[in-house]
Amino acid sequence: MKTGNRQTMGTIMALAGGICWGFSGCCGQFLFEQKAVQAPWLVTVRLFFAGILLILTGFKLNGRENLNIFRKKQDALHLLAFAIFGITFCQYTYFMAIQASNAGTATVLQYLSPVLILLVVCIRGKRLPKGLELGAIGLSLLGTFVIGTHGDIHTFHISGEALFWGLLAAVSSMIYTMIPGGLILKYDIYQVLGFGMFMGGIAMGIFVRPWTCAPVWDTGTVGALAGVIVVGTALAFGLFLQGVSLIGPLRGSIMGSVEPVSAVIISVFWLNTSFTPADFIGFALILGAVFVLTFSQRPESLKKADAGITDGI
C-alpha cells in the first residue's frame, strides 16, 4: 500500500472507530440509567461475547492460522498483558466513568490521553515539550478544571468519583493505545482483539460472576447490548487499532477524537443529557488541546515519534 493511501485508510478507520465508541458509550449510559445494569457486569459481558465474535470471524477467514499468536511464548505473554492492562483496564475505567457521570463527560475526560501520550513521546525522545505542546498541556489542564468547577474554585460541579474514573480512563486509554504496537503489525487483528477480549472477559467473569445478576431484559436492553458489543467493541476496536497500526498511536488518538464529539451529540439528542455552557467550554478546551497537538508536529517528526512508540513495545 502506498504511503498516501496507507495514511488515508488509517485516518478513516480511526475516525470511524471513534464514532462507534461514542455511540457505544451512549448505549452504556442508556443501560445504566434505564435498565439497572452495572458497569462491571456490562464490561464482562461485552468482552466475553465480543471476543467470541472476533475469534469466530478469525477462524472463518484464516482457519487454524488464527492460533498463530500462541506459537511464541513472548507474543502470547504480550497478548495477555494487552488483554488485562490494555483492553480490560480501558473498558472498565471508561464505563465506570460513564456510570458515575454520563457518556459525554466520561468520553471527553478519557481524551486527555493524547496529552499523556505526548509526555511519553517526550520522555522517550529525551526532550522537553515544545511551545504548542506546552499550550496543549495547559489547555487540557484548564479544560479539566472548568469541567470540575465551572470556574469557581469553591464549588465542585462533578462528583469526585466521576473525576477519578474519568482521569483513570485517560491513563488506561493511553496504555491501551500503546501496548499492542508490534502485535497489531505482526498478527491478524482478529487474533489480537478476539483472544485479548475473550481473555479479559474470562478474567473479569471470575470476579464479577455475571450469571448471578441480570438487568431488566427487554428489546431496549438487547438492542443497547448489541450496540455495545457489536458496534462499540467488535467494530470500533477493530477499526481503531487497525488505523493505529497504519498511522501510529499519536496520530491515531488525534483522529479518534471524534469520539467525544459524537458521544456528546448522541447523548443530548437520544438520552436528553443536559450540559451547561461551562461544560461545553471545558469540552472545547480539552478537544482544543488534542487539535493543538496536531499542528505542533511536523509530518516527519510525528512519524518518527509514532515509530518510536510502536517499535519499542
pLDDT of the residue at 98: 95
pLDDT of the residue at 186: 85
pLDDT of the residue at 116: 87
Q: What is the pTM of this model?
A: 0.83
Digit-coded pLDDT (tens) for 143-160: 888 988 877 776 777 888
Digit-coded pLDDT (tens) for 93-117: 999 999 999 999 998 898 788 788 8
For residues 271 and 283, the answer to whether their CB atoms sit within 8 Å is no
Residues of the chain with pLDDT under 50: 298-313
pLDDT of the residue at 255: 74
Q: Where are the domains of the chain?
A: 13-298
For residues 295 and 118, the answer to whether their CB atoms sit within 8 Å is no
pLDDT of the residue at 242: 79
pLDDT of the residue at 253: 64
Provide φ and ψ at 72, rounded to 5°: -110, 125
- Return the amino acid letter for 144: T
pLDDT of the residue at 297: 58
| Secondary structure of the chain as H, E, C letters | CCHHHHHHHHHHHHHHHHHHHHHHHHHHHHHHHHCCCCHHHHHHHHHHHHHHHHHHHHHHHHHHHHHHHHCCHHHHHHHHHHHHHHHHHHHHHHHHHHHHCCHHHHHHHHCCHHHHHHHHHHHHCCCCCCHHHHHHHHHHHHHHHHHHHCCCCCCCCCCHHHHHHHHHHHHHHHHHHHCCHHHHHHCCHHHHHHHHHHHHHHHHHHHHCHHHCCCCCCHHHHHHHHHHHHHHHHHHHHHHHHHHHHHCHHHHHHHCCHHHHHHHHHHHHHHCCCCCHHHHHHHHHHHHHHHHHHHCCCHHHHHHHHHHHHHCC
Q: Which residues of 21-31 are buried (b: 16+ CB within 10 A; e: fewer)?
A: bbbbbbbbbbb
